[in-house]
Each structure stands twice: as structure tokens, then as C-alpha cells.
Amino acid sequence: MDEGYKCGKVLRPKIDKETPWMTLLVKTAPKNFEYRNIIRKTWGGIQQFRGKIFKAIFMVGLAPSDDGVQTNLTVENGKYGDVLQCDFVDAYNALPTKVLSSLRWIVEENATSRFYSVTDDDCVINIPLLHDIFTKKDKGSVKDSLDDHNTVYCGYKYEAGAKPYRNNSSKWQMSMDLYSASNFPTYCMGAMWTLSFEIIRSLTCLSTVTDYADFYVEDVLITGILREKLGQGESNIKRIWKSHKVEKLRLLTLHTGKMEKKEGKKAMFEQWETWSKNLTTVK
């Protein structure tokens, strides 16, 4: 990992008086102002639920062109204080750099939330259910907890045995030079995965000695390849749902997609309206 990629030098989130229990890290592009505002009006606007503090942070790189986006982003962060900007040019193929740089910033800042969930700006998160699932895992001491602090949890899809796309016409085409194995390690699909500070520290450390240049599939890289390099087999990646049938119901995360179209925005608001009915203690 290039030591030059630093976060928070230009824009950083405001410092909270209390450390969040769950920090939600949202992958977003600098120009996606509307996406971020929809999240702030829905699941990302929940700051406290049943005694647990939540915080959404939007991860961005530098705007690719000087068309007023950076100025608007600065104004946006001045108003909301929830943007973390890293000093690389933002692009889809830079997603691994975006997420790993942000995770390293968390380690360097010693921002020790109990849990961190990584998601996309076209997703809806079921905050009440997220709270309930990880509150159960957070019971007891480190030794007795159902979460051992060194596990990645797949909140959207647990992907085992996936093969790289070799078709040149695919958006996710993966050449043999880039990745030669016939299968990826087991990984969490990028719409949502959750982990603790301890494994973030281990993964970011490994990333500094791993050559991932041109490898653009961030969920495979971080929750698959780097996680596997920790040498614990598949014991450090777990399903949230025991059955694939239940997982497919998307009870915790909905990936709406097509946010530039009305149906994507409508789907996000409608899903949040359903899930937010379970919000009984909100500030």
C-alpha cells in the first residue's frame, strides 16, 4: 500500500464526545451529494438506538476534475461533519485504496468503535436489526464474547467458491496476470460486512506488505485475500444467516442500485420506511 495515501488532511469527520458503538463506513464518490443526503435522512441519520451510539462516515477520494465538486464537498462536511477524504483521485478501480486508507486512518486515530460496518451509498441498512444482532455478539468479556474481535461478518452475502470473471466484456473481468487462482478465497460481498478494531489493525498491517496494484475488487481483496493471509483458514469469516435461503431475504441490507434513477431512490425510502417502524428509542 502506498504510504502516500493519507486520510483526513483535507476533510475529516468531526470528533464525537462519545465513541460510537457502531461506525458505518460508506463508500461513496465525491459527486454523489444526493446519495449521501438520502442516507442522512434515513438509516445514516440514526445517532442513537437503545443506548448504543451509531455514526455514519462517508469515505471519498479527491474529485477527479475541478468542476466545483471539491468546494461543495467542503461545504457539505462543514455542515454535517461526516466526510473522510483521502488523498488519491477517486475512481471505481480505486475502491481498495479508498477502503484500506480509511481503515488505516481508523487505526492511526485509534478510533475504537466496538464494531465497524462497511457498505455502499446505494444500500439501505436495517439499523434495529443490526443493533440486535451485534448486541448479542457483544455480550460478556473479550474471552467470553460471541465475537472474538478477529472475525469478519457477512451482512449481505457470504461468498464461497466464487470464480474470477475471465470474460473480457465483464465489468469485473480479472486477468490471469492479476489473479491466477481458479477460485477466490471465501469473502463477504461488498454491500455490507462488519468487523472489529482488532482485525482492522491486522488487515491494514498486511495491506502494507501486499502488492494489490490494479486489483480493484475491494471486498475480495480485504475480506478474502488479506483475511486469508492472517492464517486462520475460514474461522475468521462468518455468516450472519445460517441458511442461504434466509440470507437471500436481505433482512439486514438492501442493495437498491440505480440511485441515479427514480426507482433506486424510491426503493431506498420505501425499505427504510418499513425497517424504521422498529425504531422505538431514537435520538
Could you give the CA distance from residue 132 to residue 109 in angstroms, rounded to a whole number? 28
Question: What pLDDT shows up at residue 1?
Answer: 42
Q: Angle 220-106-179 (CA atoms, 0-180°, nearest 5)?
A: 20
Residue 281 scores a pLDDT above 90: no
Q: What is the three-state SS of 14-57? A: CCCCCCCCEEEEEECCCCCHHHHHHHHHCHHHCCEECCEEEEEE
pLDDT tens digits, one per residue of 156-174: 999 999 999 988 887 888 9
pLDDT tens digits, one per residue of 76-100: 999 999 999 999 999 999 999 999 9
Q: Give the pLDDT band (50/70/90) at residue 57.
A: very high
Neighbours of 261 (CB within 10 A): 11
Question: What pLDDT shows up at residue 100?
Answer: 97
Question: What pLDDT shows up at residue 279?
Answer: 85
Neighbours of 211 (CB within 10 A): 7
> Between 2 and 190, where is the model more confident?
190
Residue 192 scores a pLDDT above 70: yes
Torsion angle, alpha carbons of 232, 237, 243, 244, to 10: -110
Residue 59 scores a pLDDT above 50: yes
Q: For the chain, what percent of residues have pLDDT higher than 70?
A: 95
Task: Pick 22-278's CATH classification: 3.90.550, 3.30.2000, 1.10.3470, 3.30.110.
Answer: 3.90.550
In this structure, the strands spanning 152-154 and 192-195 are antiparallel
How far is C-alpha 226 from the chain's CA centre? Answer: 16
Q: In angstroms, what CA-CA distances link 261 with 26, 140, 157?
A: 20, 45, 25
Question: What pLDDT shows up at residue 144?
Answer: 52
Question: Mean pLDDT across the stretch 117-128?
Answer: 97
Residue 65 scores a pLDDT above 90: no
Could you give the CA distance from residue 37 to residue 266 in angstroms, rounded to a whole number? 14
